[in-house]
Each structure stands twice: as structure tokens, then as C-alpha cells.
Amino acid sequence: MATPVKLNQLRHFLAVVEEGTLRQASRRLFLSQSSVTKSIQQLEEALGAELLHRTSHGVMPTAAGRALVARAKTIESELREARNDIDNIRGAGTGEIRIVTSPTVGMSLLPRAILSFQLARPKVNMQIHEGVYPDVLNQVRTGEVDFAVTLVPERPADAGVGVEMLLRDTVTPAVRKGHPFENRRMKLAELAQADWVIYRRGHGGLDIFKQTFLSADLDPPTSSIECSSFACAVSLVERGDFVTLVPKQLFTDRAVHWGISPLQMQTPMPSWHVAVIYRAKHELSPVCNAFLDELKSIAAASVLAR
């Protein structure tokens, strides 16, 4: 008879893969390192395969381990949603929602939706992660997150996900307050010789930057700083004479006071919309659907307030 695989073994395995070392995984799980090691060994024995490659610098999943990671994340996701469904039947008003969001959405639309949602459901646990399109798609497909709320250039042509557009927007160049360009109507060609800061996390940021210039039949500027921290990118622009690209919706939240200003552009700018992305052919839990309704409501209110 095959040895059964236990859920806690899968959790321990995922923690080790995500943390990269047994020591860090043990700290995250509040377990001794020997307990985690034993759990992984039992999992490997149950599956009859080596799952982790041990090195002096940590651990890496083997081919069998990589195959298990995706399945284990899906199992963990389904179990989480089962708990959400049961909590909803019990009327407990609890549950868990996992979201991945792009930085600009995470600083404007998403916080307003969360605060409004928690007024009615204060016991719901929310986990917010940062990511950018298209990198977030895999997290959605595997069920690692319930949905992504992120900027997209167009509706993703991916059969593994469902998509709803929340806000239609464009990107805009932005500079520090008091910059010589601040109150001028600019053509994109005039900015080709400027010093740029490009927010880039994954592949999306540089693509937006290049597409903006190429769509206007211009070569992208060569003088630029690439930054994987959005906060650092904004700070550089606030303190220097740099130009950056940001979505216009960033400036619609009157509760947030930025040290940068959007430029008035004569050149048409590319579209980058805010979308919510979730697993296709998958029924969201009631608590996730309730938050999605709140998110749509806040987005609709943002459109009316423009």
C-alpha cells in the first residue's frame, strides 16, 4: 500500500522551496530544522522521488520537485477556498484572500477597496503581494493567489485566466514639481534627450518604456536608470531632473500627495488599463466574490470622479 501524502508535508516542502534553505523555512514554520528535514524525507519516501537538491548554499527543487510545486500550490489554494466556503456557510464572516498587485494599483485603487471591504468584513484575512504583468499570470494559474489586480496593455490572450477590465487608462511622463517641463505642453520627441528613470520589475517596465517611444516612431532614449523599486524610482524623480512613466490614475486619489506631476502631452500616449485577473473555469469563493464586487464599485466611483 502506498504511503499517504500529508498536507503538512506539502506545506513544509513549499516553505523550503520558497525560502531556499531549511533554516529559513523552519523559522517561517516555527518548527525545528530537524522536524522539517524529517517531514521532507517522509514526503520523498511517500512519492518515491528526490524532491530537493541539497547544496552548500541551500536547496533547489529537482525536476520531480518542480512538478510537485505547481500541484502543491493548487492543493493549498483549493483547501483555502474550501475553508472560505465553510466559513461562509457558518456565517462566520471570516476567510482569506490572496492578491498580487502592481505597485501603482497597490498605492491607489486597491487600498481604498480594502478599507471599504473591511468595514463590513473585519475578520477576513488579506495577503497582498507585489508583482507586475505578465509575471503575475503564473501565480494566478496555479492558485497561489486568488486574483491579480494589475496594469495590462490589452486583454491577456491566455486561456488559463479570466479577465475583467476595471479602469481604462494611459501612461504619462511625470517630473518633479517645479521642473522646467511641468507646465509646458510637451511632445514625446522633446523628451527623447531627457534623463529617464524606468521602473522595471520583471519584463513589463522596460516594454512599456520602449513601446511608448516606438509607437511614436521614436528611438527609446539611451540615458536612463532602471529601478526595480517603484518607491525608489519616484524618489529619484522627486529629487532630480529625471522623467519617468506612470499611469494617469495614480494622480486621481486626492488622499495621496505626490512630489511628481504628470506632464501635459501633445503626443498620444499608449493605453495601460487596470484589470483583475483570476483563474479561468474556476469558481471563486463567496468572500473573494464579495471583495471583487467592492473592487468594481470603487473602480466605478473612480471613473465618475475624474
Q: Provide the pairing of β-strand 171-176 with 125-130.
A: unpaired
Per the DSSP assignment, residues forming a β-bridge with 147 are: 99, 278
- Phi/psi class of residue 30: alpha, beta or left (left: φ > 0; alpha: ψ in -120 to 50)? left
Q: Please, is 26 exposed, middle or buried when counting C-beta atoms within 10 Å of its C-beta (0-12, 13-18, 19+)?
A: buried
Helices (H), the chain: 7-19, 22-29, 33-47, 63-90, 103-106, 109-120, 137-141, 204-214, 230-239, 286-305
For residue range 66-103, what is the model confidence (pLDDT) as tens digits? 888 888 888 887 787 777 777 766 665 778 899 999 99
Helix (H/G/I), strand (E/B), else coil: 115: helix
Per-residue pLDDT of the chain (306 residues; tens, 9 = 90+): 567 888 888 889 888 998 898 889 898 888 888 988 999 898 888 888 899 988 878 888 998 988 888 888 888 877 877 777 777 666 657 788 999 999 989 988 899 999 999 998 888 999 999 998 888 998 898 888 999 999 888 888 887 888 999 988 889 999 999 999 999 999 999 998 899 998 877 655 557 788 888 888 999 887 779 888 899 999 999 999 999 999 888 887 766 778 999 999 999 998 888 999 998 877 788 888 899 999 999 988 876 555
The rounded radius of gyration (Å) of the Cα atoms in the chain is 23
Closest CA to 255 of 105, 104, 112: 112
Residue count (the chain): 306
Structure pTM?
0.73
Q: Which grid cell sits at 78? A: 483549493
Sorted by where each starts, the structural domains of the chain and their CATH numbers stand as 7-69 (1.10.10.10), 93-164+281-305 (3.40.190.10), 171-265 (3.40.190.290)
Cα gap 294→267, rounded to integer Å: 35
Residue 170 CB neighbours (<10 A): 15
Which is it for strands 58-61 and 52-55: parallel, antiparallel or unpaired? antiparallel
Q: Fill in the DSSP letter of residue 149.
A: E
pLDDT computed for residue 77 by the predictor: 78
